[in-house]
């Protein structure tokens, strides 16, 4: 039994919170911290002391008037650091803004217009979170408490209903009932494969064995993806509660959080959450007086992308090299140390308590019949509002880009929806979506039909100045580098594919290169051992399908339509703009530029090494790069 019942903890916290008249929340996610939010936090403490304002940094009986706290990621990454004073929401706050905020907003109750979010589409100012389309267009279930509660205070999590579902399950439900509720909810794994969570739990529950494990897969490694990291930083107890419920459902008494070491803040907060839960008796022996024990360990991975694959992850936890093995047997039958094991990713586990809180029937009304609930996406690239968003499954790509993220942007940052060219969804394992897919629902089945996948939720938006051949090379370079090397198709196939892509972007490609690239990509896809190898060719195959004309331009015409591939660029001098000053001529390292002083100069394309010195040196904008 806990030293103190969670209901009593919640009551005491909420009673103490009644003494608070104003709360100041500063985003403490990795993105905002990188932007200086910890300095903003320190500035608030200094200024509040300077104005003799009573404040506390932790809720207790003695806390009066003002409560100053950090939060996890609030998702609106492009506008950070974020600060809310009561309902007033400020963006891009710097330490030097804090004195004005304290004096005008906290003391006088005034709003500082310049720190409010200004909608670039309408010009309107947003005073509160609800006034901002980025938030108003989302349905935040998983992320509801991220950015609202102090992630390092278990009492606040409990006060908001935390661990109530775990207690109800441990004291009133059977494991069979828990698995059935999960199955009825339709929740599918959010890590990429989309396997029904309840079915995975049930397979493990019925396996015989005195020892079973639950593993939280927090080895998020997709370029541009930060969903799991943000959840662990913003609401680590939700992940622990999900693990507790999974453990009860399958009969496990031990669990592991496997998190990559590149996530130091997430590691710090998950460890602190575990320590606080153990201190209160929520984790450990005789959980909620049920007679069941549950212990959670944290293991830091070295950052190998392949360890996101469940059998490779298991090998790493066991102290072996992180390499996948052939399945079956599946982890439900023979997992960690040969024992039945459930592996779910962070987002899946953090949703578990919400499923039981809402009930399966209500949860599955959100989303689509085969893809229930909500999904988080890390939206990056050429878009007005990069950040973390949560929308119902089945929301279209257009709605995410234009309604939530504010629209595609030009290279100078101005919003231009017509500039949209493509979206890479699902990271290096995913596929490419084009203008014809803007109305495709983002759910498991629709994306599979479109030749892509939900994946873990990375969503990179690209405008019309993007070279899709170079994009394919970027993602393949990543997966080739991350290949564990165990199987020949992945180890050798991705290496040869990368060499062919390098030939194409560097002007050495031929039509035979394109033919062999596609043939090899399909072979690697079919014959690789694990999902890393099987999905590594996806960006190549999808760009070949949707942007074949760009590949042909690189190979046949020896030009890059987007003007990105340096080896195919053509440097020219506009005679109308050239003053004949000779600056470019002196900057050229290979004497490729000729011309008399005061006369227009010329560039010899056969000598030019495309270093760009001439363009950066010219003060008159006479040097141009032609695709």
Q: Rounded to 5 degrees, what are φ and ψ at 408?
A: -70, 150
In 3D space, the residue among 23, 49, 46, 27 whose CA is nearest the CA of residue 37 turns out to be: 27
Decide if 436 is inside a domain.
yes
For residue 500, the domain's CATH number is 1.20.1440.230
**161 belongs to a structural domain:** no
Residues 443 and 350 in one domain: no
Neighbours of 109 (CB within 10 A): 11
Predicted local distance difference test score (pLDDT) of residue 228: 93
CATH number, position 423:
3.10.20.600
Averaged pLDDT for residues 195-217: 96
Task: Note down the domain range covering 57.
Answer: 6-136
Using a pLDDT cut of 90, give the percent of the chain over it: 84
Q: What pLDDT sits at residue 3?
A: 54
Within 8 A by CB and 6+ apart from 268, the residues are none
Cβ atoms of residues 503 and 515 within 8 Å:
no
Q: Is the pLDDT of residue 499 over 80?
A: yes
Q: Which of 337, 363, 389 is the last residue of a domain?
A: 363
Asked if residue 25 and residue 118 are part of one domain, the reply reads: yes
Q: Is the peptide bond before 81 cis (omega within 30 degrees of 0)?
A: yes
Q: Are residues 406 and 495 in the same domain?
A: no
What pLDDT, in 10s, does the model give residues 342-384? 999 999 999 999 999 999 999 999 999 999 999 999 999 999 9
Shared-domain flag, residues 176 and 253? yes
pLDDT for 8-27, tens place per residue?
999 999 999 998 999 999 99
Whether 75 and 97 share a structural domain: yes
Same domain as 476, residue 461: no
CB count in 10 Å sphere of residue 559:
17
One domain, residues 449 and 592: no
Residue 150 lies in a domain: no
Q: What is the pLDDT of residue 438?
A: 96
Are 480 and 459 in a shared domain?
no
Domain edge (last residue) among 332, 363, 394? 363
The radius of gyration of the chain's CA atoms, rounded to the nearest angstrom, is 27
Task: Please write the tens of the pLDDT for every residue from 559-615.
Answer: 999 988 988 888 999 999 999 999 999 999 999 999 999 999 999 988 998 888 999
Q: State the pTM of this model.
A: 0.91
Mean pLDDT of the chain, nearest integer = 94
What secondary structure does DSSP assign to 91-126, as a single string?
A: -S--GGGHHHIIIIIIIS----GGGSEE-TTT--EE
Average pLDDT over residues 467-475: 95
Q: What is the pLDDT of residue 236?
A: 97
Is 4's pLDDT higher than 80? Answer: no
Contact 225, 457 (CB under 8 A): yes
- Rounded to whole angstroms, the Cα distance separating 316 from 297 reads 14
| Per-residue pLDDT at 71 | 95
| Residue pair 553/588 in contact by the 8 Å Cβ criterion | no
Residue 148 lies in a domain: no
Residue 452 sits in the same domain as residue 546: no
Residue 1 has pLDDT above 50, yes or no: no
The residue out of 555, 583, 617 marking a domain boundary is 555
271 and 226 in one domain?
yes
Let me know if residue 532 belongs to a domain: yes
The number of folded domains in the chain is 5
Query: How many C-beta atoms surround the C-beta of residue 261 within 10 A?
Result: 11
Count the helices and strands in the chain (H runs, E runs). Answer: 25, 20
Inside any domain, residue 152: no
In a domain, 476, yes or no: yes
Residues 180 and 191 in one domain: yes
pLDDT, residue 2, reads 53
Residues 458 and 481 in one domain: no
Check pLDDT > 70 for residue 207.
Answer: yes
The four Cα atoms 204, 280, 317, 376 give a dihedral, to 10 degrees, of: 70
Mean predicted confidence (pLDDT) in 514-542:
94
């Amino acid at each position: 039994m806990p030293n103190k019942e969670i209901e009593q903890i919640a009551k005491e916290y909420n009673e103490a919170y009644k003494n608070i008249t104003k709360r100041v929340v500063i985003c403490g996610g990795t993105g905002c911290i990188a932007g200086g939010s910890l300095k903003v936090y320190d500035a608030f403490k200094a200024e509040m002391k300077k104005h003799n304002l009573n404040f506390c940094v932790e809720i207790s009986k003695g806390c009066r008037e003002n409560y100053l706290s950090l939060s996890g990621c609030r998702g609106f990454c492009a506008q950070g650091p974020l600060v809310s004073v009561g309902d007033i929401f400020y963006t891009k706050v710097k330490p030097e803004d804090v004195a004005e905020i304290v004096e005008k907003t906290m003391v006088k109750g005034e709003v500082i217009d310049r720190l409010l979010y200004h909608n670039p589409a309408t010009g309107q100012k947003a005073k509160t979170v609800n006034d901002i389309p980025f938030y108003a267009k989302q349905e935040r279930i998983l992320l509801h408490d991220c950015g609202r509660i102090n992630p390092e205070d278990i009492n606040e999590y409990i006060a908001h209903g935390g661990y109530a579902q775990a207690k109800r399950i441990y004291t009133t439900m059977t494991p069979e009932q828990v698995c059935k509720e999960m199955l009825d909810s339709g929740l599918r794994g959010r890590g990429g494969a989309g396997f029904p969570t309840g079915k995975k739990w049930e397979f493990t529950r019925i396996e015989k064995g005195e020892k079973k494990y639950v593993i939280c897969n927090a080895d998020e490694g997709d370029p541009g993806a930060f969903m799991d990291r943000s959840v662990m930083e913003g609401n680590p107890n939700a992940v622990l509660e999900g693990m507790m419920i999974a453990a009860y459902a399958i009969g496990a008494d031990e669990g592991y959080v496997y998190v990559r070491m590149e996530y130091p803040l997430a590691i710090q907060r998950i460890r602190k959450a575990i320590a606080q839960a153990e201190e209160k008796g929520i984790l450990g022996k005789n959980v909620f007086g049920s007679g069941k024990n549950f212990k959670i360990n944290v293991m830091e991975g070295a950052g190998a992308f392949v360890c996101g694959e469940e059998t490779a992850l298991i090998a790493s936890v066991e102290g072996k090299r992180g390499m996948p093995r052939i399945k079956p047997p599946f982890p439900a039958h023979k997992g960690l140390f040969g024992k039945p094991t459930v592996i779910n990713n962070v987002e899946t586990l953090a949703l578990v308590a919400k499923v039981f809180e809402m009930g399966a029937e209500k949860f599955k009304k959100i989303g689509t019949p085969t893809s229930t609930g909500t999904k988080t996406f890390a939206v990056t690239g050429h878009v007005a509002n990069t950040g973390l968003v949560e929308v119902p499954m089945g929301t279209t790509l257009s709605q995410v880009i234009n309604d939530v993220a504010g629209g595609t942007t030009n290279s100078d940052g101005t919003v231009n929806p017509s500039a949209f060219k493509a979206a890479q969804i699902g990271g290096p394992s995913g596929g490419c979506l084009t203008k014809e897919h803007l109305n495709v629902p983002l759910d498991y089945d629709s994306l599979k039909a479109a030749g892509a996948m939900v994946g873990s939720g990375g969503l990179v938006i690209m405008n019309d100045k993007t070279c899709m051949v170079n994009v394919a090379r970027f993602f393949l370079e990543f997966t080739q580098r991350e290949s564990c090397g165990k199987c020949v198709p992945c180890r050798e196939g991705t290496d040869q594919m990368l060499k062919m892509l390098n030939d194409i972007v560097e002007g050495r490609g031929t039509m035979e290169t394109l033919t062999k690239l596609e043939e090899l990509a399909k072979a690697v896809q079919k014959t690789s051992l694990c999902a890393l190898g099987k999905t590594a060719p996806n960006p190549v195959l999808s760009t070949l399908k949707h942007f074949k004309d760009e590949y042909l331009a690189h190979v046949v015409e020896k030009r890059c339509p987007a003007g990105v591939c340096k080896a195919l660029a053509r440097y020219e001098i506009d005679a109308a703009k050239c003053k004949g000053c000779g600056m470019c001529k002196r900057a050229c390292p290979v004497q490729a530029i000729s011309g008399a002083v005061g006369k227009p100069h010329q560039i010899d394309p056969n000598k030019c090494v495309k270093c760009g010195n001439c363009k950066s040196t010219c003060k008159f904008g006479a040097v141009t790069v032609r695709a």
